[in-house]
Chain A
């Protein structure tokens, strides 16, 4: 594929690996923030080919994985109601709540549908005036503009049967929470390129200045990821802490202004729970007062629904690279890819799930 294959070229990759090897003189822990980057790393085995000194810590940037249990239970309760068409992005369907998942609701007669765009959910609401259509608005800054647009259009068109269950999360507060943690081991960050394509890079300058931590805006193709790692390591080795953009073909400093305008019209910043991490202040978006009528939590009276996170799951510590997955007592026992307790086991690329798979490869019994 033109413009994609070029960014997976093994020859260029070997050069980048060799250069990272050459410039690395000591141990560094680099966190890739976004789940898409983790995907590229695991899929291509990038982590196996880096020098031993460079450790990648998979960050909290998978929106499906960090959606809290309580929010999933709200979704399940709404989706179970008669006369509701519940619309979701595909991979949310198998994320377990405290008792079951959306597939389970569907099998009991719930009308659960996978959509690619929130605008499809708006169209469903228009086509089904006697049904309540609910869209599960999850994701980072990347999915927010389209989700905001859906709500905006629903208001423009006077739709009374469309609501959104909002669980939006924001990257900069999450980075700040990690870097402020007294136990944090992260020396530098690869910021999420797609998030920055929407929001620009300007949000990250203050973080770099305040915490003296290198942040490199990084893309998702294998060479993008390697280039991001290279730039972080160069900064660390030279004692620099700067904001750099290694994804200039997509990301500008100011980002996508119309998208930002749409988001700020529909959403306000709020506190948000993250699965396996806990509450992070100012780390989410919720509907602004002007659009409160589209809030599914209120319409379906599920505000009170909550579910305690597992008290044995240590995914928060795994996320920060403080422990290895197998140091958690639940690993491979109560917690496995089929029965995940925390964010890092929910995604097939989460640190715990990846660790679980490689245990199979090395022949080591899982859970030992």
Chain B
């Protein structure tokens, strides 16, 4: 034909990912579609520091490692102040931070429902990447599976994280000691109420936005002024009530807090009041509970308040040798109330 033969070196399929506006089963099949999804979706957002191989290889500095995993199945996927994407990063970063660890890297597994809009996945992935950037870490390895329509609810995410616990740090629930001071880093209940306000069948108007945030920066500051912090806990599912009950039980100590010191924003209190819920059992995604030796409390509180993720930090109570294993609230009138571990899912009261 008189022209030179075509040069296929460096050729890639000209069909761009955007030609599929929805996830099809083939995106999880391990073939070309899978590869395109990795290249155009995940590497685009998370980056790739080295050649693609079956596992990430990390070179940790000296110290102890923290390792945590969590799965995210939140509905709706997007809610005021956050999405399943930033929760999936922040949740795991925070689980590491509650052991005093800074993240070295995260893994990410997606389970995608056939038919999921590509744009939805794109938005989730972008928000994961942004959350990782904010936390100063990266998603270093991942996996994707696609299941038949109806076998999952749009998308599920699992993340795992490896973090480094600096020398001299020993943060764990059973170190709560009588005399310790109980601090909470800010307003409680906002995440749970933000999500509830968007849930099908319950929608209500509120200006409440999720507090979803990674707390490793705040924790680093706190540990800098007090390496001997005894306990850190992010009060997610079950809220502050569940976290306190678990700590009291693990350390065999009593925990006492004062109702009127709890930072409950007006809109959360209002929503809880008409839904018949208790702000203490509502999930948080950007707050922590700290239990610190009394002599360090003031300094820890000061650095928390100076940090963007802890501006609302307050002391709400203390650890006591009385009533071991039991959490007790002091009411505004000066009486007491036993705070119990919520039995399961938080349910609205009718009366």
Contacts and interface: CB of A to CB of B under 8 A. Distances in A.
B322 to A, nearest CB: 9
Contact of A44 (B331, B343, B349): B331
Given A44-B333, A103-B344, A114-B201, A358 B351 contact: no
Contact of A63 (B331, B332, B344, B350): B350
Interface in B104-142: none
Contacts of B348: 89-91, 114, 116
B266 A48 contact: no
B201 A1 contact: no
A1 B326 contact: no
A138 interface: yes
B15 interface: no
B350 A138 contact: yes
B338 A348 contact: no
B350 A361 contact: no
A276 to B, nearest CB: 16
A94 interface: yes
Interface string B49-82: 0000000000000000000000000000000000
Interface string B323-351: 10110100111111110100111011111
Interface in A1-20: 1, 4, 8, 10, 13-14, 17
Interface stretch (A35-43, A252-260, A290-298, A325-333): A35-43
Contacts of A44: 331-333, 335, 337
A347 to B, nearest CB: 9
Nearest to B199: A114
B130 to A, nearest CB: 33
A48 B335 contact: yes
B193 to A, nearest CB: 14
B336 A361 contact: yes
A114 B276 CA distance: 13
Nearest to A115: B201
Contact of B344 (A35, A39, A94): A94
At the interface, is chain B mostly helix, strand, loop or mixed?
A: loop
Contacts of B152: none
Contacts of B333: 10, 13-14, 17, 44-46, 49, 222
Interface in A26-85: 34-36, 39, 42-49, 61-64
Interface residue range, chain B: 20 to 34
B48 interface: no
A34 B349 CA distance: 13
A8 B273 contact: no
B201 A48 contact: no
Contacts of A103: 344-345
B351 A361 contact: no
A45 B331 CA distance: 7
A357 B340 contact: yes
Contacts of A358: 338
Nearest to A221: B273
Nearest to A353: B340
B326 A10 contact: no
Nearest to A354: B338
B336 A48 contact: yes
Nearest to B332: A10
A338 interface: yes
B349 to A, nearest CB: 5
A92 B349 CA distance: 9
A170 interface: no
Nearest to A13: B333
B13 interface: no
B270 interface: yes
B201 A116 contact: yes
Interface string A339-368: 000000000100000000110110100000
Contacts of A13: 332-333
B269 interface: yes
Interface string B252-289: 00000000100000100110010110000000000000
Contacts of A63: 350-351
A93 B275 CA distance: 15
A1 B269 CA distance: 8
B329 to A, nearest CB: 9
A24 to B, nearest CB: 18
A139 interface: yes
A143 interface: yes
Nearest to A42: B337
A120 interface: yes
B123 to A, nearest CB: 28
Nearest to A358: B338
B1 interface: no
Contacts of B334: 10, 45, 49
Contact of B351 (A62, A114, A337): A62
A358 B333 CA distance: 18
A8 B332 CA distance: 8
Ranked 4 nearest A-B pairs via Cβ: A45-B335, A90-B348, A90-B347, A35-B351
13 contacts: A8-B332, A10-B333, A13-B332, A39-B349, A43-B337, A44-B335, A45-B335, A46-B333, A49-B334, A89-B350, A120-B201, A139-B351, A338-B343
Given A44-B335, A114-B348, 9 more contacts: A4-B269, A48-B335, A49-B333, A49-B335, A113-B201, A139-B350, A139-B351, A348-B340, A361-B323
